[in-house]
Amino acid sequence: MYMTAREQKLIKYLLHQNRYVKVGEIADYIEVSTRTVHRELKAVKSVLEAYGLQLDKQPGKGLKLVGPSRDKQRLLHDLSNDSHVEYTSDERKLLILCAMLESGEPIKLYTIANDLQVTAATISHDLDELENWIAPFGLSLIRKRGYGIELRGPEDAKRKIVGNLMADKLDVQQFLETIEMNIKGRNQTSEKIFGVVSRGKLLKAEKVLSQAKEQHGLSLSDSAYIALVVHLTFAVERIQLGEVINMNEEELAELKHTKEFELALTIAKSLEEVFHVKIPDAEAGYITMHLRSANRSYKTDYRAEDIELDTALRTKRLIDFISQKMGVNLNDNQSLYEGLIAHLEPAIIRIKEKMLIHNPLKEQIKKDYFLLYMAIEEGVERFFPDTYFPDEEIAFIVLHFGSVLEMNKGEININALVICSSGIGSSKMLASRLKKELPEIASFDISSLMELKTKDTAAYDIIVSTVQIPYEGIDYVIVSPLLDEEDVKQVKHQLTRKIPLILQKRRAEQKKTAPFPDMLAVAEKISHYANAIRHIVSHFTVEVVKTAESHVQTVERVCLLLEEQGLIRDAGQMAEGLLSREAQGGLGIPGTSFALFHLKNEAANIPLFKAVDLTKPYDIKAMDGSSIKMKRMLIMLAPDDIPPEGSELLSCISSSIIESDDSLAAYGTGDAELLYRRLNMLFHTFIRDKKW
Tens of pLDDT, residues 303-333: 444 556 778 888 888 998 998 888 788 888 8
CA distances from 213 to 248, 271, 275 (A): 28, 14, 19
Spatial CA neighbour of 483 closest among 433, 432, 421: 433
CA distance 344 to 658: 17
Task: Tell me the pLDDT tens digit for each residue of 71-82.
Answer: 888 888 777 665
How far is residue 150 from each of residues 106, 125, 153, 207, 300, measured CA to CA in Å?
Answer: 5, 16, 10, 34, 45
On the question of pLDDT at 179 being above 60, the answer is: no
DSSP line for 132-160: HHHGGGT-EEEEETTTEEEEES-HHHHHH
What proportions of the chain, in percent to the nearest 5, are helix, strand and coil?
60, 15, 30
pLDDT at 672 over 90: yes
Kindly give, in sequence order, each residue whose CB lies less than 8 Å from that of residue 219, ignoring residues fewer than 6 positions away: 296, 297, 300, 301
DSSP states along 499-551: HHHHHHHHHHHHHSPPPPP-HHHHHHHHHHHHHHHHHHHHT--EEEE---SSH
Report which listed range, 69-78, 338-347, 358-367, 675-684, is most confident.
675-684
Looking at the predicted structure, is the pLDDT value of residue 18 above 50? yes
User: Phi/psi at 613 (nearest 5 deg)?
Assistant: -90, 135
Side-chain-side CA neighbours of 374 within 13 Å: the count stands at: 6
Q: Assess whether pLDDT exceeds 50 at residue 681.
A: yes
Q: Residue 327, Cβ neighbours under 10 Å: how many?
A: 6
The pLDDT score that the predictor gives to residue 230 is 77
Phi, psi of 152 (to 5 degrees): -120, 145
* Residue-wise pLDDT tens digits, 40-67: 888 888 889 888 999 988 888 889 999 8
pTM for this entry: 0.50
**What distance, in Å, lies between the first and last C-alpha atoms of the chain?**
64
Q: Are strands 415-419 and 54-58 parallel, antiparallel or unpaired?
A: unpaired
CB 346 within 8 A of CB 306: no
* Whether the predicted pLDDT of 481 surpasses 90: no
Q: Mean pLDDT across the stretch 553-572?
A: 96
What pLDDT score was predicted for residue 534? 96
Burial of 531 (0-12, 13-18, 19+ CB in 10 A): middle
Instruction: Answer with the residue of higher pLDDT: 494 or 602.
Output: 602
Per-residue pLDDT at 410 exceeds 90: no
**Dist. CA 90–CA 112, nearest whole Å:** 15
| The pLDDT of residue 482 | 61
Which among 455, 469, 65, 28 is positioned nearest to 478, based on CA atoms? Answer: 469
Reported as a pLDDT band with limits 50, 70 and 90, residue 184 is very low
Confidence (pLDDT) at 197: 61
Domains of the chain: 3-86 (1.10.10.10), 90-153 (1.10.10.10), 158-294 (1.10.1790.10), 304-347+355-403 (1.10.1790.10), 415-511 (3.40.50), 521-689 (3.40.930.10)
Inform me whether the pLDDT recorded for 297 exceeds 60: no
In whole angstroms, give the CA distance from residue 229 to residue 206: 6
Residue 408 predicted with pLDDT over 80: no
Q: How confident is the model at residue 427 (pLDDT cuts 50, 70, 90)?
A: low
pLDDT higher than threshold 50 for residue 133? yes
Q: Tell me: the pLDDT tens digits for 359-399?
A: 666 777 787 778 888 889 999 998 888 888 988 889 888 87
Q: For a pLDDT cut of 70, what percent of the chain falls above it?
A: 80
pLDDT of residue 300: 42
What pLDDT does 272 receive?
93
* pLDDT at 190 (0 to 100): 43
Distance CA 138, CA 130 (A): 13
CB of 201 closer than 8 Å to CB of 236: yes
Residue scoring higher pLDDT (605 or 83) = 605
